Amino acid sequence: MTGTMNLAAEVQQASGVASMAWLLLVLPAFGAAVLLIGGKRTDKWGHLLGSATVIAAFVYGVVLFLDTKSLGAEDRLRDVHLFDWIPVNALDVEFGLRVDPLSLTFVLLITGVGSLIHIYSIGYMSDDRNRRRFFAYLNLFVAAMLLLVLGNGFVTLYFGWEGVGLASYLLIGWYQDKDFAATAAKKAFLMNRVGDVGLALAIFIMFKTMGSTQYDVVFAQIGNQSTATVVSIGILLLLGACGKSGQFPLQAWLPDAMAGPTPVSALIHAATMVTAGVYLIARSSPLYSLPQAEDARLVVMIVGAVTLLIGCVIGCAYDDFKKVLAYSTVSQIGYMILAVGLGPAGYAFGILHLLTHGFFKAGLFLGAGSVMHGMNDEGNIRRLGGLARKMPITFVTWTLGYLALIGFPFLSGYFSKDAIIAAAFSEGGGRGWVFGGIALLGAGLTAFYMTRLLILVFLGKPRWENLKSEDGRAYHPHESGWTMTLPMIVLAVGSVGAGAILSGILPEWLTPSIGELVEEHGPLSHTLIAVLTVAISAIGAATAFVVFGRREQPVTRPARVSFPVRAARADLYGNHLNEALFARPGVWLTRFLVFVDNRGVDGLVNGIAAGLGGSSGRLRRLQTGFVRSYALSMLGGSILVIAALLMVRFA
């Protein structure tokens, strides 16, 4: 505990390679600027520039990583001061970068996965007239996301936070001519605002109580604050995390966000942006690790556990390829939040799962994109099927991602998810059983819905053969070009191997940022938990095979289903809840205010205006145009002036 609290004192000014860290922000921002300002002139080579800037950022990130790796563990926290951003009286916000293991981990994830997805997009968006603008937005996103993770204070983080929100909004609404895309973009933006209010309030409280919003100052002083302050900051930060990461109760926007192009879903709404909430909590580990923050951590764990269950359950019922993956994302981020809520026992595992998830979920999304690309953008899994033979590369890479996700032994997910489940059990007591049990149940459900997806899309009979897509074309599934398959292959390799490699080195590597990994042992041994998890996952997958694999599936989804399926199809009534709790009272309040505005405010304003206009019209008649009346008014005025002067003097 003390180790994390002293973090602040050990931050050093960066030199050498690290002092150039601003390049990370500038490269993609430059790409975005050129593409947006250059307009149509850059259409020909815009996608190449966009990809090149991100790849260059990745290369620099690797160099920076190696440089940091070569330092001793105690020297790995470094700050790059760029300029004083907002020096106003007592508020002094510095624009600086924090180069440490945690932010570097994210830098590599963002630029690495980002590069792959840029390359993939060259092929995926090749038919889109506005491909250049698409790359500009992607670059904008990468720049903002890097600012988010690299900033050395909460205000810089907030800047990046809003920047990725903007990029996400622009990209969800990419297909502007489609109503549902515009609605989804708006929904995402609005629900994110709810979370952002939490983050903003947390920042305000920090400034009020500690006089600064820089990480080093805040984390150095947070220990001296009252429990109420610590808990309220903790819960408000969590609200921010819930908004950005699609956690309960703000999860409803993320599945709708799949309205954007698939590379966007993979990059922003699966691999990187939605994990910002996890980053926020891990970054604030000095706060959450405090004994005073016990209650805040409990809330974090509850949110994580509830969300992971919600995501699994709804994922079982959806028929839209990308939406199932989206709910899977919601659920997996639930695991991460649960992990970081566990405190020092879980931070590293949360980040580990975040990284492995970044690999396999991006791969799964890209696979989904590849399928849709070859199937006239068909996303309904009931109209797919038997595609394994038509798209062998997609099938193999997707299946590897699938196996990694359900925790097949010795693939990525096995190391990261099982570690979280074990850490949850080791929380001890009733809590350990509850959270561990939920996490275990979630693993089974995950295996169930992912297997369902695999069967319906790649195995079974080709149900699409006698169907036509909405625009009347027949389906001619085909494998995608190399720009699309290459990133999928790379990500598949990552899905297979990343877990084994990272689980060995990550906890030690992250220690300078988030403290030592505390290993605790619960009532069940780690081996037993691993066996249990694999067994439950196997049961889930087997159930799916029994239910979906043995008989033919209807092309339209059955209408008469049991209550749990109906509830899951309705997002477990999450939208209804939001509607009833927030939207409807909001509408009433709005109507009331409109009424007040129309009658009261407008009445007043119009009344004044009418009064002035009327008096103007009447006064105007005094301006008769006759010199005699002008002279009279002058005389009257003079008499008044002189009388007033004399009255003042002699009164």
Which residues make up the interface to another protein (CB under 8 A)?
609, 612-613, 615-617, 619-620, 623, 625, 627, 629-631, 633-634, 636-638, 641-642, 644-646, 648-650
Q: Is 377 left (phi over 0), alpha (psi -120 to 50) or beta?
A: left
Closer to another protein at the Cβ: 586 or 613? 613
CB nearer another protein, residue 528 or residue 608: 608
Contact, 538 vs 407, CB < 8 A?
Answer: no
User: In the bound complex, what is the minimum distance in angstroms from residue 502's beta carbon to another protein?
Assistant: 56
Q: How far is the CB of 649 from another protein (least distance, A)?
A: 5
Asked whether 485 and 394 are in contact (CB, 8 A), the reply is yes
DSSP 3-state of 178: coil
CB of 613 vs another protein, minimal distance in Å:
6
Q: Where are the strands (E) in 14-147, listed by range?
A: 78-88, 91-99
Q: 286 preceded by cis ω (within 30°)?
A: no
In the bound state with another protein, the residue whose beta carbon lies nearer, of 598 and 623, is 623
Query: Cβ of residue 37: shortest distance to another protein, in angstroms?
Result: 24
Q: Which amino acid is at 130?
A: N
Q: How far apart are CA 361 and CA 272, in angstroms?
A: 10
Nearer to another protein by C-beta: 224 or 624?
624
Nearest CB to another protein, comparing residues 90 and 619: 619
Rounded (5°) CA angle 201-138-83: 55
Eight-class DSSP state of 93: E
Q: H or E element: which one contains 185?
A: helix 179-210
CB of 604 to another protein, least distance (A): 14
Packing angle of the helix pair 179-210, 227-245 (nearest 10 deg): 160
Chain length of the chain: 651
Nearer Cβ to another protein, position 559 or 627? 627
Residue closer to another protein, measured from CB, 211 or 611? 611
Token duo for residue 2: 């003390």
Closest approach, Cβ 609 to another protein, in A, equals: 8
Tokens standing for 95?
């624009």
The answer to whether 276 and 164 have CB atoms below 8 angstroms apart is yes
Q: Of 135, 145, 165, give the one whose Cα is nearest residue 52.
A: 135
Closer by beta carbon to another protein, 392 or else 637: 637
Gap between the Cα atoms of 309 and 574, Å rounded = 13
Q: What is the DSSP letter of 516?
A: P
Question: Least Å distance between CB 628 and another protein?
Answer: 9
Q: Which of 280, 278, 377 is nearest to 329 (CA)?
A: 278
Q: Which is nearer to another protein, 585 or 637 (CB)?
A: 637
Taking the complex as a whole, the smallest distance from the CB of residue 647 to another protein amounts, in Å, to 9
Shortest approach of another protein to residue 87 CB, angstroms? 23
